[in-house]
Amino acid sequence: MEYAKLETAALAHVDDSYFYGAYCRKCKHSCRLSLEKLRKHLGDDFPLRMVKDRLRCERCGSRQIVITFLAPNQKTGNVAHLFQEAPRR
Ligand SMILES: [Zn+2]
């Protein structure tokens, strides 16, 4: 099975079985974002790699966001806990 890649996928290719996390470099706030909600908001064809440009830290408003994108097959070992977090927004 082929999994969507951050560089090439559009929002139509991913759902919340993927992990998409944002981390603010400025205030170190982090949260998991819902790819399904992003898709509803931005549309099916919106490129995954461009979602980052739309993000601002909800706490301090900074745009210095670092993304963590993981496919369902990476849901193992020391990243497994990331998938247990409930997606927000
Ligand atoms: Zn921040």
List, for residues 16-70, the tens digit of each pLDDT value. 999 999 999 999 999 999 999 999 999 999 999 999 999 999 999 999 999 999 9
- C-alpha 2 to ligand 1 mean position (Å): 34
Q: How many A from CA of 59 to the centre of ligand 1?
A: 5
Distance (Å) of CA 32 to CA 2, 25, 29, 51 = 23, 15, 11, 13
Whether the per-residue pLDDT at 89 is higher than 60: the answer is no
Q: CA 5, CA 67: separation in Å to the nearest integer?
A: 13
Cα(72)–Cα(89) distance, integer angstroms: 20
Whether the pLDDT of residue 87 is over 90: the answer is no
Interatomic CA distance for residues 73 and 23, integer angstroms:
22
* Alpha carbon distance 45, 36 (integer Å): 13
Rounded to two decimals, the pTM is 0.91
Å from CA of 56 to ligand 1 middle? 8
